[in-house]
């Protein structure tokens, strides 16, 4: 006979938070949403900490380089989707790492002999408006000058004109020498009212660019998530098939953290993948695993070396795993069970394993419930798919704008690595995800600020100013079906919105 669990499989919508004492310290400006991303020992600091507890889902319709850049600038991290060739995933990671590096290696370069037509083609290809002019057209050639959009007028100037006639020559440039600190470089930029400062070596070879916009951007995004080298943090999804080739390529591109992407992570394939990575790289490479829904799955992956564990099967808005296979568990119940296992592991070993709640979030207050129930951070797909920065098309259907959104288990994703059944040609013959639309919501920044504002206000009402404090002091109650109705607008006639 099967093993029967007595607990009911519950979702976030069945719970409410009970207010705690709101002290004078409990104001939004005092709230810290910092959270560990990877495991750490008691008394130590995690190698990577999030400034906001949000990560974007490992999905084609969500986590491209543009969204990864924007989310990192606001304190979270994206996992670039792995259901694509290794080379294209690597290029997406490189694009994120190059976006904001303090010292930026120039990847738009020409020689003085090139023509304006070459400049215009390069700008169109790369989107970069600053071009280094070197003797050989390489990123590290002898610096001879710069070309920016202020040096030419494409509608009036002869497109056959050579670069040497309209570039700003080296003699008129302010430059810094290799070895200069980022702070010193920014000081030169500030003193001389520059937009860009080339950094050269003793032989006048171009080494880096430092941009004013990067300094200004950091001031506008104080929670930006970057490493010691000032590059934005970015993660990547991997599978249990080609990891021996994919992982080294991603690490070479500068990826900060990996996550095995699977609808069911309680498997020997994930164990083998974790063991191989840890054998090859030790703790220098951080890799999460999942998804699981109980303590058995959590302990299995932790024993194999997982740096964090993802919780949730079948709770995503586009996921139909429960409908198709009858596999899964209510997200709240799964999270509570795994969080208890995580806490027991901490008491026994002194090692804290962060857990990620993946799926089941319908309303913003569900995010606070998930954190209070033990999640360290939240992985979301639908939430981020609505924004300008997601990689999908914005469409108009009737009088409404929408964006495309599809699951990795849908036929459209063709993600055989995620749903591989182990044998030769043994891939999934049915869908575990749907192809859909989500309402278009505009820019990430505007929406994210509203969501974070709600989370901070709710935490204040619970009497907590950190996530750790929320998990220790939050009081949670079950809600009846009539209580849920009572919680919304009722017994009134709502005015039409104009």
Overall size of the chain counted in residues:
498
Residue 166's contacts (CB-CB under 8 Å, 6 or more residues apart) are 116, 147, 151, 152, 157
Instruction: Tell me the two tokens of residue 10.
Output: 């519950």
d(CA 286, CA 48): 9
d(CA 359, CA 307): 20
Query: Across the strands, what pairs with 401?
Result: 396
Torsion, Cα 179 182 187 190, to 10 degrees, reads 130
Name residue, tokens 């709770």. Answer: 315
DSSP-based three-state secondary structure for 183? helix
Give me the active site residues, please: 319, 418
Query: Across the strands, what pairs with 154?
Result: none
Residue among 147, 145, 113 at smallest CA distance from 130: 147
What distance separates the 2 farthest-apart alpha carbons in the chain? 84
DSSP-based three-state secondary structure for 445? helix
For 350-403, where are the alpha helices, taking DSSP H only?
364-372, 382-385
Pairing of strands 475-478, 15-18: antiparallel
Residue 455's contacts (CB-CB under 8 Å, 6 or more residues apart) are 31, 33, 364, 367, 368, 371
Torsion, Cα 162 165 167 171, to 10 degrees, reads 140
Residue 282's contacts (CB-CB under 8 Å, 6 or more residues apart) are none
Fill in the DSSP letter of residue 495.
Answer: P
């Amino acid at each position: 006979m099967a093993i029967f669990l007595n607990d009911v499989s519950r979702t976030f919508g069945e719970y409410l938070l009970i207010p705690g004492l709101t002290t004078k310290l409990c104001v939004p400006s005092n709230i810290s949403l910092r959270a560990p991303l990877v495991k750490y020992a008691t008394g130590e600091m995690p190698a990577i900490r999030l400034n906001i507890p949000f990560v974007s889902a490992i999905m084609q319709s969500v986590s491209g380089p543009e969204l990864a850049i924007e989310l990192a600038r606001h304190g979270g991290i994206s996992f670039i989707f792995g259901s694509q060739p290794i080379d294209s995933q690597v290029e997406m990671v490189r694009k994120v790492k190059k976006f904001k590096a303090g010292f930026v290696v120039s990847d738009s370069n020409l020689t003085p002999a090139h023509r304006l037509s070459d400049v215009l083609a390069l700008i169109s290809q790369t989107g970069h408006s600053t071009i280094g002019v070197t003797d050989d057209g390489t990123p590290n050639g002898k610096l001879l000058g710069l070309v920016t959009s202020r040096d030419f007028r494409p509608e009036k100037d002869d497109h056959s004109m050579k670069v040497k006639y309209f570039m700003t020559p080296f003699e008129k440039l302010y430059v810094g020498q290799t070895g200069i600190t980022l702070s010193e470089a920014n000081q030169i930029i500030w003193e001389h009212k520059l937009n860009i400062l080339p950094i050269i070596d003793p032989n006048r070879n171009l080494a880096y660019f430092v941009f004013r916009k990067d300094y200004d951007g950091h001031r506008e995004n104080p929670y930006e998530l970057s490493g010691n080298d000032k590059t934005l943090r970015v993660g990547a999804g991997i599978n249990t098939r080609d990891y021996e080739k994919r992982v080294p390529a991603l690490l070479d591109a500068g990826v900060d953290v990996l996550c095995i992407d699977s609808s069911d992570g309680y498997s020997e394939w994930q164990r083998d993948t974790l063991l191989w990575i840890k054998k090859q790289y030790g703790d220098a490479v951080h890799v999460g695993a999942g998804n699981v829904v109980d303590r058995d799955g959590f302990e299995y992956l932790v024993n194999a070396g997982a740096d964090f564990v993802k919780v949730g099967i079948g709770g995503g808005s586009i996921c139909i795993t429960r409908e198709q296979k009858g596999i899964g568990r209510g997200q709240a119940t799964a999270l509570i069970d795994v969080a208890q296992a995580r806490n027991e592991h901490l008491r026994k070993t002194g090692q804290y394993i962060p857990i990620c709640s993946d799926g089941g979030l319908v309303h913003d207050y569900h995010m606070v419930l998930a954190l209070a129930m033990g999640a360290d951070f939240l992985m979301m797909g639908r939430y981020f798919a609505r924004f300008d920065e997601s990689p999908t098309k914005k469409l108009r259907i009737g009088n409404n704008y929408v964006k495309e959104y599809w699951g990795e288990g849908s036929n459209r994703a063709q993600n055989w690595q995620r749903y591989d059944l182990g044998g030769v040609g043994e891939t999934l013959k049915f869908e575990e995800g749907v192809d859909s639309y989500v309402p278009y919501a505009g820019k990430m920044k505007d929406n994210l600020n509203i969501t974070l504002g709600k989370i901070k206000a709710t935490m204040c009402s619970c009497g907590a100013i950190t996530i750790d404090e929320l998990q220790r002091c939050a009081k949670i109650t079950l809600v009846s079906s009539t209580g849920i109705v009572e919680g919304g607008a009722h017994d009134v006639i709502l005015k039409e919105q104009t």
